[in-house]
Structure 1
């Protein structure tokens, strides 16, 4: 590849299907500026296949595109458009493996309880694929997420519906007050580079090496924390009782996709807490059958069908469901509850949706109801309680007047909690976990009990410096206050505060308002300003970056998919992300059932514009800058003309929005005066698309309403998916005429 190459990622679900429709437009328009567009398969299926080349036929093998992109992200040439991908929970991983096996891939099953060296090696390969395997590899820079002015102005002029908040709302957040990750955290700043070893020293005198070697750098912040299982179980049982007593829905909000070791375990303890009698009576039988609460009720119920006592155990579950508090539902029509699948309720998407909907979730009768949102670790749970308290006191936010909270996020090089997967362990025996340096000297230690969850996190110094620099840059560019969400009472944050205070004087901060506040105080400060229509830059760590860049966009814009997400890579490249993918599964189901794809590619349009702009600045390609400027104007027209996908069958869907963007973009290119040759090249296409608009729309609408076959959920057939996503012969022919 060259400096004039854009890499377009092939991912999963609705974003991947939309790419079959939109990528041909991108390739055709980019070619007029001498820009090559190449795709790389980093889908869940692709990552699984790339993990087992020796088991597959020659024509089935594919390269490890994620590893290649990880190396590319460290170079100045990187220009990557990253679409949302599946952060696979174990049920999703197993489903993808089964689909690929049915297609003839000789892949091994996922071993739940590996007993042999071969099974352990297979499990290790799959564990590298599950959870958030993609983002930590590609994010070799910190995050700049904000609502583009065109999107923000459209949201103000066309405000989405917000549920009414009542002063007597009983919705609240519950979190632990001790013995969780936040309260047990210890943190150090390393004086020199080297490596760390993590060992468990059992009370019985045994020593178990948990991680042989963790490379570290001078100036790096290293943390060790433990969630104590006895306290967790006591807390969860109390919340089940509290929800029943308060007459509200019980719901647990975790991120089992990103925190792929710790949160499935916590989820499993939640399932156990809700069904204590069933697990007391049948827990051993369930375990013997390989049915674990960590995978949720859905997996257990399916496994019960083949157990001799399955009906009896299912009846026990049903009895405790009837006796306990009402459960929040994911899909009440299908009986899928909050406890069915660990990846169904993801905190950064589920909490904003609850807050937007009057603090309600859905009950088994498909009615809205107040809820108790259980977020066990107290590190960030308080920010959601602050929002709920604000809405209870002041009512719902008004999208037509509210300000904005863009984010500068510390995420480079697997920063903080999201880089802890390979250093997180469920402790097998009581003892002490010790973190030792190269010379065997103690760095950190934590007393642990059997079943406790230990994790070690790293935050390198270079990303912290870059994070501070980016915060100052954004504050200077906007004139808005920038607030570091850091808490002096938390061990990790104290070390980051010291570094922020060390690095801020290296930049020109004259005339800028830059503050450091605890997350709860920063939230209150930002909410006061947002209600006055004022903007506040949130400068946060990796997890809060995730939480806030769903929370505020969902309130401001109706969806986080409309955010501009730029990752200025530390070594000079650019990573351009296209919004969240949390609703992608439902969109695929609707497409297969009705040949209608509601997915909105607006995030892609925004990312593509800044990708062209980045390339233009790096290479001096004037035409690439014209493509960026005209695409930005075309996106504004698309919003103003209301050509985004509709919710209603019989209206334009994702494919229709791609056609209209192509039309408006061609028109802008034909009318621009900076490059007459380029204008002439697009004049014919703009004329054809305008004249054939009715025909093209009719061709796109004609296919709706009937089931379609895309050849697979996790690995669609390229031919079938392309045929489904490009049904307008007239549009396809017009596009091909450009090249």
Structure 2
């Protein structure tokens, strides 16, 4: 078995240039092979178009390769955060690659020719959350390691104070959304399904050709009604103005990569309704797409004649003046909540606001109460209840609060939100139906033009495995396990039936296992957390994302410090390294002043568990010692305050890598289980300790000046190596070892 270390994007990829040589050197002494696979956005794009590239430019389809590996017992994959590309990000990556000499096609907005349709299909396979469904052939076990939790208790991060008078609140739809329209069923026999649109005149259009489903599989369908959404958004805009709070929209345009950009576009159009009513045709004529955000509209304006452009700019300013103040992504640069759909991702933006007194930033760079607009009501109660709890009880105290690990249902592309290939913006009024191989209609909705309809699937085997994993974690920890499921929701009702069946097959004597809807589960968990008690959340894929950001950000200050283990269903292991939501800002700082504040703690944690997993599989005791020593080194790193600083000139990501190497070597040299291994690492530990001052000076002295990575989505590897490995002394020491 090998360790497969993934090369991804942005800050995690930059950190890999510094950390990987250290990993390879240490692992080699324990007979462990480490290989890399490029699953970055740029790498995934290039893999789609081998016929258009030269021999030197072609790259393997590493994601497909890892997808196959994940289905085998030999899988041992360390997966770093990657870009889940929104359309603007995808277009930017394409443009960068084209500028670097790669003959790849533009992204076809409205594909008409066969070649455009083929290109669109290739890009659709890359955008959004394309990586995770391929690799996640198991359910997730995500938790704060004891060392990290203990450190947070000893050295608590800042938490904003809450006022009982806070006007911040969640607004969500009470009808016409996915939650209220969802219908679901469990298939008794295997079959093939197809999705059709039937127009008012009886014309049938196949939206998705026949695809296989298994016996016991859950299939759902739901619709977001455009008119209801627009009315809701208009009401919330007016209410935010009346209440004097910031207007902010919170979606997940990366995971819900078809539906949520459309919802985002409706928010842009509704806020700037006067602009689009008066100048909609002019904007459309130059390709302004509100689904890509206000930034896309402003960029497109440059193509209009000066007089028309100025008139539209004045109309936009008038909308700002007459509407509520918008929450800001970057107050200094005037970047609003409505500029780019991938700038405000709900599972990162809502916890950050809750940690910051329930407020967001306004145009003056000051915190202000906000209206958090979450159109679909499926999971809005999570944040609504948390706001209410903090308003009543104040901010959580990291020194005393409990922890909330998560067991997440995500194996075999388990869906609870509709995948992009089964989500459609409806072109004409009629009916959308799901039909089986015999022609029987299983699910259907009446739809209007502009509605967003989606379907999703969840297989039976992952649910059984999910229940088993939840019971196993409850027994191992003694904490109650809570399934966040609502019997009044179509999808959840079907899942609950299976959960009860499979729980009956497990030994749950002495365990507390609950099934609660989102609002009740949130209150139950928050109350226990406040008392310092631990609670295992057992959720589907979307709530897994939401909860494993919300609670870690309150507990630890960041979700990047979580340990995410995915026991793959066929015996392998996938080890994920935390969240990458802040990665873009870290890259910007590096380029500006050669300081990378990305914290590789998640990588350290995942690697340690990966080594222990390999040791057990291959009966390699040295790999186990390597993993244990890395855990010890990580604890020492935290206690000694050697995590990256936020300020240039101080220890950054590269410096923390040096210290983890030093402490790792010392732990191995001091261990007594393998004298020969200790003897191998002792000289390295001694040299690193002796050269500490020199190495740290070399790492810190390069900071403060701009650097050129040669690209953002597709960096120049040689330049990046030079930037991320600036200590000649450290490089020579590792190379000699």
Question: Cα distance 1:234–1:283, how it changes in 2: closer, same or farther (>3 A)?
Answer: same
Question: Cα distance 1:417–1:497, how it changes in 2: closer, same or farther (>3 A)?
Answer: closer
Whether the aligned pair in 2 keeps the contact of 1:82 and 1:578 (CA below 8 Å) is yes
Report which stretch shifted further, 503-512 or 603-612. 503-512
Shift of 1:198: 0.3
Which residue number corresponds to residue 144 of structure 2? 147
The question of 1:215 aligning with 2:216 is answered no
Which residue number corresponds to residue 260 of structure 2? 263
The question of 1:415 aligning with 2:409 is answered no
Inter-partner Cα distance in structure 2 for 1:377 and 1:143: 25
Which residue number corresponds to residue 431 of structure 2? 432
Shift of 1:179: 1.1
Listed as ranges, the matches of 1:564-579 within 5 Å are 564-579=563-578
Listed as ranges, the matches of 1:281-360 within 5 Å are 281-308=278-305, 309-360=308-359
Whether the aligned pair in 2 keeps the contact of 1:112 and 1:290 (CA below 8 Å) is no
Which residue number corresponds to residue 236 of structure 2? 239
TM-score, normalised to structure 2, is 0.99
The question of 1:108 aligning with 2:105 is answered yes
Shift of 1:417: 3.0
Shift of 1:289: 1.6
Inter-partner Cα distance in structure 2 for 1:699 and 1:660: 14
Inter-partner Cα distance in structure 2 for 1:77 and 1:448: 47
The question of 1:128 aligning with 2:136 is answered no
Inter-partner Cα distance in structure 2 for 1:495 and 1:261: 25
Deviations 1:91-118 (A, max 9, x none): 1111101110110001111111222222
Inter-partner Cα distance in structure 2 for 1:34 and 1:419: 44
The question of 1:59 aligning with 2:56 is answered yes
The question of 1:45 aligning with 2:42 is answered yes
Deviations 1:603-638 (A, max 9, x none): 000000000011111111100100111110110000
The question of 1:620 aligning with 2:596 is answered no
The question of 1:168 aligning with 2:165 is answered yes
1:36 to 33, 37, 55: 33
2:184 to 184, 187, 193: 187
Which residue number corresponds to residue 550 of structure 2? 551
Structure 1 residue runs of 5 or longer lacking an equivalent are: none
Look up the SS of the partner of 2:313 in the other structure.
Answer: helix
Question: Cα distance 1:418–1:61, how it changes in 2: closer, same or farther (>3 A)?
Answer: farther
Whether the aligned pair in 1 keeps the contact of 2:594 and 2:648 (CA below 8 Å) is no
Look up the SS of the partner of 1:378 in the other structure.
Answer: coil
Which residue number corresponds to residue 8 of structure 2? 11
Look up the SS of the partner of 1:651 in the other structure.
Answer: coil
Report which stretch shifted further, 98-107 or 117-126. 117-126
Inter-partner Cα distance in structure 1 for 2:51 and 2:470: 46
Look up the SS of the partner of 1:522 in the other structure.
Answer: helix
Deviations 1:707-734 (A, max 9, x none): 1111110001110000000000111111
Which residue number corresponds to residue 95 of structure 1? 92
2:154 to 151, 157, 175: 157
Whether the aligned pair in 2 keeps the contact of 1:136 and 1:418 (CA below 8 Å) is no
Inter-partner Cα distance in structure 2 for 1:321 and 1:109: 33
Whether the aligned pair in 2 keeps the contact of 1:171 and 1:373 (CA below 8 Å) is yes
Which residue number corresponds to residue 667 of structure 2? 668
TM-score, normalised to structure 1, is 0.99
Inter-partner Cα distance in structure 1 for 2:195 and 2:282: 34
Inter-partner Cα distance in structure 2 for 1:418 and 1:223: 9
Deviations 1:682-729 (A, max 9, x none): 000000000000000000011000111111100011100000000001
Which residue number corresponds to residue 137 of structure 1? 134
Whether the aligned pair in 1 keeps the contact of 2:138 and 2:569 (CA below 8 Å) is yes
The question of 1:370 aligning with 2:375 is answered no
Whether the aligned pair in 1 keeps the contact of 2:418 and 2:454 (CA below 8 Å) is no
Structure 2 residue runs of 5 or longer lacking an equivalent are: none
Inter-partner Cα distance in structure 2 for 1:378 and 1:50: 38
How many residues are treated as equivalent by the alignment? 735
Whether the aligned pair in 1 keeps the contact of 2:141 and 2:564 (CA below 8 Å) is yes
The question of 1:444 aligning with 2:443 is answered yes
Which residue number corresponds to residue 706 of structure 2? 707
Deviations 1:37-63 (A, max 9, x none): 000010000011111111111111111
Whether the aligned pair in 1 keeps the contact of 2:140 and 2:406 (CA below 8 Å) is yes
Listed as ranges, the matches of 1:378-389 within 5 Å are 378-389=377-388
Look up the SS of the partner of 1:562 in the other structure.
Answer: coil
Inter-partner Cα distance in structure 1 for 2:295 and 2:257: 18
Which residue number corresponds to residue 656 of structure 2? 657
Which residue number corresponds to residue 462 of structure 2? 463
Which residue number corresponds to residue 515 of structure 1? 514
Shift of 1:415: 1.0
Report which stretch shifted further, 109-118 or 620-629. 109-118
Which residue number corresponds to residue 391 of structure 2? 392
Which residue number corresponds to residue 603 of structure 1? 602
